[in-house]
């Protein structure tokens, strides 16, 4: 069975058939680096990280490119506000992006590309469009002739009469990105409108403004529009046509629609075989927005007093199919946190209990791809990366491992075959890694507690053994009950031995 994905361009699921067998050239629209990443960015980049990981697990040689928009009105506005430079703002938030993504266990791209590093490619592409009659210069700006491109609207399904709102690069300039993808726009130029031949045309090059960064070009000093940046970066990094172009659903129009118009008018080739878009994030049923007071950064989520674990957040984002919207609520996060506890116990089962079960050959384990769990996981992920069903498969494994762990702690034995259990644990670890979910063995540390110290517990255990030996069962029971009330379990074993666990 092959991987099947939903292609926004065709509006249906299609088997994944890359340009070159066994490879996957993927471009993911990145962030505009003027602020910290928010919950919508977390959803976007967790989703595409999983798609990338799964294709690699299925044997594809993936080349994954992601861009940074490091020249934009919002960056310049923040630089003015803070009396610093565009470069300083960009570098600060590029670094912050990498820190936030690392905490969510999102793999680094194979290649990062930057708008300011692609100026030559941008100018070259604009020049080609001008020569072919798809662009025109006026007053230091260059615009794209939307009506000249016959296929305009094929991605979004919109008609020209519906597109006025996005003619200058923005659908809605109020508030942050609403959930699934980067928040950005090329913004109208100072004279945007009167100089355009048609209200639907959009800016490719924007004439220089006082005290703003600019680059020399055949049309005068200026800077690129937003849409042309991605077209040029894709072409410079991966050629005329790629396999998959990814981004948030809010980028379908106008950004991705304009990318297609630019690139395909210049090259005569499809920009991408497949277009994938993730759903938005709502907060308590409402769109995320600073004006509504429900705008939350990844850092706030992970660093607040509640202490949301990064893997609990990742698990929450995995529990919905990527094209569907997700609703961030207190109940949903509480449920994800509870699920993460089960996952963590399952993932760490081998590290905690392996020595006791004499799992001495763990290094030789191999994933059995013919097992029922692996087959069900693969069937779910092959069907348009259905992480909801995939997580359910893994939860069954984790839940059983947790049950066996509780048996070991409370009764000293398991009720399953040790070798089978070891294979189940290894299967869970391997498949969870495909979803980017992991628990670190180094996180296993002595629990902090307000109760008795280890030495005090050992003394009480000895006193209890002595009480039992002298047939003072009332005292022995009292010691057990007192320790149990403090979260300490005693396990009596043959040979007059007693083990204890917090």
Same fold, 4-292 and 308-443: no
By the 8 A CB rule, do 444 and 352 touch?
yes
Phi first, then psi: give them for residue 401, nearest 5 degrees. -65, -40
* pTM, full prediction: 0.85
Spell out a b/e string for 403-428, using b for 16 or more CB atoms within 10 Å of the CB, else e: bbbeebbeeeebeeeeeebbbbbbbb
What pairs with residue 224 in β-bridges? Answer: 205
Please list, in sequence order, all residues whose beta carbon lies within 8 angstroms of the beta carbon of residue 287, skipping any fewer than 6 positions away. 178, 179, 280
DSSP state of 412: S
Q: How many CB atoms lie within 10 A of CB 344?
A: 21
Residues 76, 36: contact at Cβ < 8 Å? Answer: no
Contacts of 7 (CB under 8 A, 6+ apart): 13, 14, 273, 274, 275, 276
Indicate the SS3 state at residue 58.
Answer: coil
Q: What is the CATH number of domain 308-443?
A: 1.20.120.640
Element (DSSP H or E) covering residue 12 = strand 12-15
Say if residues 349 and 425 touch (Cβ distance below 8 Å). Answer: yes
Whole-number Å distance between alpha carbons of 254 and 205: 17
Going by CATH, does the domain composed of 4-292 fall within 3.40.50.620? yes
Provide CB contacts within 8 A for 145, sequence distance 6+. 133, 134, 135, 136, 197, 198, 201
Q: Are 180 and 40 in contact (CB under 8 A)?
A: yes
Distance CA 242, CA 55 (A): 15
- Spatial distance between the Cα atoms of 185 and 170, rounded to a whole number of angstroms: 5
**Virtual CA dihedral for 267, 45, 366, 309, nearest 10 degrees?**
170
pLDDT, tens digit only, all 502 positions of the chain: 799 999 999 999 999 999 999 999 999 999 999 999 999 999 999 999 999 999 999 999 999 999 999 999 999 999 999 999 999 999 999 999 999 999 999 999 999 999 999 999 999 999 999 999 999 999 999 999 999 999 999 999 998 876 554 444 433 333 333 333 433 444 433 444 458 999 999 999 999 999 899 999 999 999 999 999 999 999 999 999 999 999 999 999 999 999 999 999 999 999 999 999 999 999 988 888 776 778 889 999 999 867 799 999 999 999 999 999 999 999 999 999 999 999 999 999 999 999 999 998 888 899 999 999 999 999 999 999 999 999 999 999 999 999 999 998 888 889 999 999 999 999 999 999 999 999 987 766 544 455 788 788 888 988 998 888 898 888 988 888 888 778 687 888 777 788 777 6
Residue 151's SS3 state is coil
Where do the structural domains in the chain lie, given as residue ranges? Answer: 4-292, 308-443, 454-501
Q: Do 402 and 342 form a contact (C-beta atoms < 8 A)?
A: yes
Q: Retrieve residue 342's tokens.
A: 């089960």
Q: Please, are residues 58 and 3 in contact by the beta-carbon 8 Å criterion?
A: yes
The CA-to-CA distance between both ends of the chain, in Å, stands at: 47
């Amino acid at each position: 069975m092959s991987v099947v994905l939903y292609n926004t361009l065709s509006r249906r699921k299609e088997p994944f058939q890359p340009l070159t067998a066994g490879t996957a050239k993927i471009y993911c629209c990145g962030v505009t680096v003027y602020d910290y990443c928010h919950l919508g960015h977390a959803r976007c980049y967790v989703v595409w990280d999983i798609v990338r990981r799964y294709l690699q697990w299925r044997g594809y040689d993936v080349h994954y490119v992601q861009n940074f928009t490091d020249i934009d009105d919002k960056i310049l506005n923040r630089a003015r506000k803070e009396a610093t430079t565009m470069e300083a703002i960009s570098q600060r938030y590029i670094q912050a992006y990498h820190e936030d993504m690392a905490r969510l266990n999102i793999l680094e791209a194979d290649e990062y590309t930057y708008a300011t590093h692609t100026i030559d490619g941008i100018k070259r592409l604009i020049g080609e469009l001008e020569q072919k009659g798809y662009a025109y210069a006026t007053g230091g700006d260059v615009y794209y002739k939307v009506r000249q491109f016959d296929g305009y609207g094929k991605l979004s399904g919109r008609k020209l009469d519906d597109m006025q709102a996005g003619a200058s690069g923005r659908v809605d300039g109020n508030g942050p990105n609403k959930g699934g993808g980067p928040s950005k726009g090329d913004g109208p130029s100072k004279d945007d409108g009167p100089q355009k031949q048609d209200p639907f045309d959009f800016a490719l090059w924007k004439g220089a403004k006082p005290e703003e960064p600019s680059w020399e070009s055949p049309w005068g000093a200026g800077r690129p529009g937003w849409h042309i940046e991605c077209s040029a970066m894709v072409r410079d990094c991966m050629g005329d046509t790629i396999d998959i172009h990814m981004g948030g659903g809010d980028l379908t129009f106008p950004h991705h629609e304009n990318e297609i118009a630019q690139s395909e008018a210049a090259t005569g080739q499809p920009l991408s075989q497949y277009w994938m878009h993730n759903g938005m994030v709502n907060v308590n049923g409402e769109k995320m927005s600073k004006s509504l007071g429900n705008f939350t950064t990844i850092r706030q989520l992970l660093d607040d007093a509640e202490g949301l674990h990064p893997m609990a957040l990742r698990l929450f984002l995995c529990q919905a199919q990527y094209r569907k919207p997700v609703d961030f609520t207190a109940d949903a996060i509480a449920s994800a946190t509870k699920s993460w506890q089960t996952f963590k116990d399952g993932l760490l089962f081998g590290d905690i209990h392996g020595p006791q079960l004499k799992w001495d050959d763990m290094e030789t384990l191999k994933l059995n791809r013919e097992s029922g769990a692996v087959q069900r996981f693969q069937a779910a992920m092959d069907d348009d990366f259905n992480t909801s069903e995939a997580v359910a498969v893994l939860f069954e494994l984790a839940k059983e491992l947790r049950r066996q762990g509780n048996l070991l702690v409370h009764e000293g034995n398991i009720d399953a075959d040790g070798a089978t259990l070891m294979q189940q644990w290894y299967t869970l670890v391997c498949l969870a890694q495909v979803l980017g979910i992991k628990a670190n063995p180094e996180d296993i540390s002595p629990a902090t507690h307000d109760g008795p110290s280890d030495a005090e517990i050992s003394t009480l255990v000895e006193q209890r053994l002595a009480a039992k030996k002298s047939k003072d069962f009332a005292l022995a029971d009292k010691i057990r009950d007192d320790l149990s009330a403090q979260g300490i379990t005693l396990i009596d074993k043959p040979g007059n031995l007693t083990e204890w666990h917090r």
